[in-house]
Structure 1
Amino acid sequence: MRRAKIVATLGPATGTPDRIAALIEGGANVIRVNASHGTAETRGRWIEVVRRAADGAGVPVAVLVDLQGPRIRVGELAGSRVLRPGEVVVFAPQELATGGEIPTTYADLARDARPGARILLNDGLLAVEVTEIAPPRVRALVVDGGPLTSHKGMNLPGLQVSAPALTEKDCEDVRDAVARGADYVALSFVRRAEDMAELRRLVPPTVQIVAKIEKATALEDLDRILTACDAVMVARGDLGVELPFEEVPIVQKRLIREANRRGKPVITATQMLESMVNHPRPTRAEASDVANAILDGTDAVMLSAETATGEFPLEAVRAMDRIIRETERQSSGAVREGRRMGELEEVSAEDAIAIGTHAVARMLRTPLIVTLTKGGFTARKVAALRPPVPILAVTTEASTFRQLALVWGVAPVVVDHVPGYDAMLEVVRDLILKRGLARPGDRIVMTAGVPWEVSGTTNLLKVEVV
């Protein structure tokens, strides 16, 4: 089975029932719904279609709703404007901008900016340096010029932005996502752990929260952010604007490594197969990019414009599936396993059980690890060590069944509740034989929390015979 997972983004190119079903059939494990675009009604219909398609295919598929966040943009310009190096420009709140001033959607720009700071426009293609603050206006000198049009993004690298972590729109979108049964909600432009705590207060325990790391300031509070979130996304688009481009590959590796060490699922995102927006085959560099993320230890790789607006969305999913499978087939699992185990600095009882499960499966060469899990805690602990065999995660919770679709190496199964470990073991044996996951007489490693109905307690490791 393929261990790393695929996240596919819905959009105009894939928003129909047949296209959504085709994405799932092609290998998408998580469907991303971008709250920056479309209406709540459209997103709700998409989520319903995803649920029906996944049920029809008999596979777990998680829904991730990606919040817009406090994105700062250029306001409405009269037309395209060319900024020339050496030119002095003035930014003003959009309701106050006059004449040749550049309007911005961020009313507090003058409060947050500092002389000498850079403001990047249009994904970093244009850059200006702040020379004077005259609230509510900011005067700046154009460093890197070019054409500027309405609604282009503005980045303030290195500055602590005072905008709220969650906008009014975000809060409405969170409530809607929860009501429609989203499995994950991702927060954009996370700056500190408190941002995640604010989101956590808006969602029930059954919904997991994802920290999108796309601001340089987030790296300064990374430990606390990783503790506060359930999963993390390496959002390389804005991160590559905030940081020098040559730093992004190393930051990506650091983020994946730290997420692995904490047992938090990690998604590597942005421009992975970007050329497939317009072409039916990826470039060799893109194939290498996906493969390197897999070798780094990412749980999932994400397609954005490739499936949302691209001309070849289904081909993009299939191409990513092929790259992952070949990379996993060719790579050395032993190197990854040893590194993951060695990176555990503080070992809890649950970590010790997970390490033991991994070691026993390897030494006995069992074909399968089985975790009995209510909330997914046990399965994530074991998966974080990247064992050499698949992990069958057996749960009674539909939300856990879907959420584990994101986690590396985990094949989730949902079953009816039966009381006690022995009764559940018989259910598991029947499942394994019906699915051909092992043969009669094979040994398997079982891990669970006892009582197994209680989430977050991993305290049992047993070797059983199918």
Structure 2
Amino acid sequence: MRRTRIVATIGPASCDEESLRTMIKAGLDVARLNYSHGDDEWRAEVAERIRRIAKEDGIHIGIMADLPGPKLRLGRFEGTHHLSQGEIISLRCGEAEGYADSSSLPVEYGGLAKEIRPGDPVLLSDGLIQLEVEECNENIVRCKIIEGGLITERKGINVPGTIVKLPAVGSRDEEALRHAIGLDVEFIAVSYVRSKEDVSPARRILDECNSKAWIVSKIEHPSALESLDGIIEVSDAVMVARGDLGVEIPPEEVPMAQDRIVKAARKRGLPVIVATQMLESMVTNPRPTRAEVADIANAIRHGATAVMLSAETASGTYPVDSLLTMLRVTRRADLEWDGLTKPTDAKLLLTRAVANAGVTLAETSSADRILVATKHGNAARLVAAHSTKIPITAVTNNPSVARKVMLLPGVDAVVCEELERGSSTMCLAIKTIFENGRLKQNDRVVAISGSPKAMSGATSTARLYRVTEDGSVDGDE
């Protein structure tokens, strides 16, 4: 089983039936829908298409909704415009939509002119275009173009060193979040998290809507690095969003920041996704660079549990080839991965202790597979956090949880009925995965479950079974 998970952004280049089916059957684990682009009708259609194809092929696929967040963006405008070095450009603040040319652009956020000062840098399009503020007059920011280039609508704006007073989850984010909850997505990616308080609005709305979606906090601002432990404490997973992070801090600092984020998340037992420009050259080329391949492999070797494709699959020329390339690289990198880590600071102390005991039993008995019963995915997350090379199967009666655990390293899922006794449920799960080829006669299986019921009971038991010729078990070994 592949340990490292793959998240791919679905966009115009990959949302058609053929591309989605090819990607899902090839090994896509989580499909990302970016709420910064497109409209809700399109997202609903794509989500339904993903669910249908996955069901037809008998595959569990998670869906991640990525909220726009308090990110500064240009407004909407027509065409592509060239900004020339040395020229002056005016940023018109508070215009969500308007005219644009090489000397004037609309900016959504109306407060920018009040929060920025002459001499401050302004970076557009992930830092590819650099401006310097010369003058601020009410809603107009006049800038000198230091590094020019082509610009289109809705590109991101970064102002390094300036704390923009935008709410973590504004009205647009709340609207997007409620729409995503209506689609029953498994993951909510909260953008531009700067402190643990920034996660609270999303958590509150999820609770109000009775949604069990996991929150993925995106680390892409210097303030988040200062508040990292607190953010991880209130998150279900984290993402190293290197695009904005690499603009907000010096690029040479990004590898060390990435390593720190990965280690902190793994210590807490959380999945951690490394994202942005992993196969950027494949947006326009059919083959990756050697540096990109090394980047992916090194992220995995340093502990990343998932890697993400963005423009490569959303708008690139080779979306399917990009996914297949990522699959080959992750499979090869997984072979070199070694070492058992323990989530020493994870929450759910009793579940963590039983997960540790179950993994230890599996390792010492040379078990062929670990089964872990889970109601919401937490028990499976803590078992997966130990990074064992033994394949893990999450046992659940909830299809949404089966899709959710697709973000966990080295985990697949089986959906089965929860019986009155925990051991009966686990024996039913063993029989089910024996019949679909994931177990064979004489395999040893460690089953971690709750009591008295496997999924809804408190995780408390680890048993070692041997599989018989018909998929039943001989009993505890």
TM-score (structure 2 length as normaliser): 0.88
For structure 1, the 5+ residue unaligned runs are none
With over 3 angstroms needed to count, the CA separation of the structure-2 counterparts of 1:188 and 1:387, relative to structure 1, is: same
Q: Find the counterpart in structure 2 of residue 442 from structure 1.
A: 443
Q: SS at 1:458's partner residue?
A: strand
Q: SS at 2:448's partner residue?
A: strand
Q: Distance in 1 between matches of 2:446 and 2:107?
A: 58
Residue 154 of structure 2 corresponds to residue 154 of structure 1: no
With over 3 angstroms needed to count, the CA separation of the structure-2 counterparts of 1:97 and 1:396, relative to structure 1, is: closer
Q: Distance in 1 between matches of 2:382 and 2:223?
A: 28
Q: Find the counterpart in structure 1 of residue 475 from structure 2.
A: none
Q: Distance in 1 between matches of 2:80 and 2:62?
A: 41
With over 3 angstroms needed to count, the CA separation of the structure-2 counterparts of 1:84 and 1:379, relative to structure 1, is: same
Q: Distance in 2 between matches of 1:269 and 1:109?
A: 28
Q: Distance in 2 between matches of 1:296 and 1:442?
A: 31
**Does 34-43 or 451-460 show the bigger shift?**
451-460
Q: SS at 1:232's partner residue?
A: strand
Q: Deviations over 1:224-250 (max 9, x none)?
A: 111122111111111111111111112
**Does 166-175 or 383-392 show the bigger shift?**
166-175
Q: How does 1:36-185 map onto structure 2 within 5 Å?
A: 36-75=36-75, 80=81, 82-85=83-86, 91-94=91-94, 103-114=106-117, 116-130=119-133, 134-138=137-141, 143-145=146-148, 151-185=154-188
Q: SS at 1:388's partner residue?
A: coil
Q: Distance in 2 between matches of 1:395 and 1:423?
A: 13
Q: Distance in 1 between matches of 2:412 and 2:160?
A: 40
**Does 354-363 or 403-412 show the bigger shift?**
354-363
Q: Find the counterpart in structure 2 of residue 353 from structure 1.
A: 354
With over 3 angstroms needed to count, the CA separation of the structure-2 counterparts of 1:69 and 1:299, relative to structure 1, is: same
Equivalent position amino acid for 2:428 in 1: V
CA contact (8 A) 1:77 1:103 kept: no
Cα offset for 1:69? 2.0
Q: What's the C-alpha RMSD, in Å, of the aligned pairs?
A: 2.7
CA contact (8 A) 1:80 1:150 kept: no
Q: Find the counterpart in structure 1 of residue 293 from structure 2.
A: 287
Q: Distance in 1 between matches of 2:277 and 2:61?
A: 22
Q: Find the counterpart in structure 1 of residue 15 from structure 2.
A: 15
Cα offset for 1:150? 5.2
Percent of pairs identical after alignment?
Answer: 39
User: What is the aligned counterpart of 1:333 among 338, 342, 347?
Assistant: 338
Q: How does 1:254-403 map onto structure 2 within 5 Å?
A: 254-329=260-335, 331-334=336-339, 337=340, 340-341=341-342, 344-345=344-345, 348-403=349-404
Q: SS at 2:451's partner residue?
A: coil
Q: Deviations over 1:224-282 (max 9, x none)?
A: 11112211111111111111111111211211111111111111111111222222222
Q: SS at 1:21's partner residue?
A: helix
With over 3 angstroms needed to count, the CA separation of the structure-2 counterparts of 1:151 and 1:405, relative to structure 1, is: closer
CA contact (8 A) 2:132 2:145 kept: yes
Cα offset for 1:170? 2.1
For structure 2, the 5+ residue unaligned runs are 468-477
Q: Distance in 1 between matches of 2:338 and 2:457?
A: 28
Q: SS at 2:351's partner residue?
A: helix
TM-score (structure 1 length as normaliser): 0.90
Equivalent position amino acid for 2:58 in 1: G
Q: Distance in 1 between matches of 2:79 and 2:21?
A: 43
Q: SS at 1:459's partner residue?
A: strand
Cα offset for 1:149? 5.7
Q: Deviations over 1:311-351 (max 9, x none)?
A: 2222211111111111112x1423xx1xx23x625783332
Q: SS at 2:405's partner residue?
A: helix
Q: SS at 1:333's partner residue?
A: coil
CA contact (8 A) 1:375 1:456 kept: no
Equivalent position amino acid for 1:357 in 2: G
CA contact (8 A) 2:451 2:457 kept: no
With over 3 angstroms needed to count, the CA separation of the structure-2 counterparts of 1:20 and 1:464, relative to structure 1, is: same
Q: Distance in 1 between matches of 2:358 and 2:461?
A: 10
Q: SS at 2:197's partner residue?
A: helix
Q: Deviations over 1:20-64 (max 9, x none)?
A: 111101110111111222221111111111111111111110011
Q: Distance in 2 between matches of 1:218 and 1:390?
A: 34
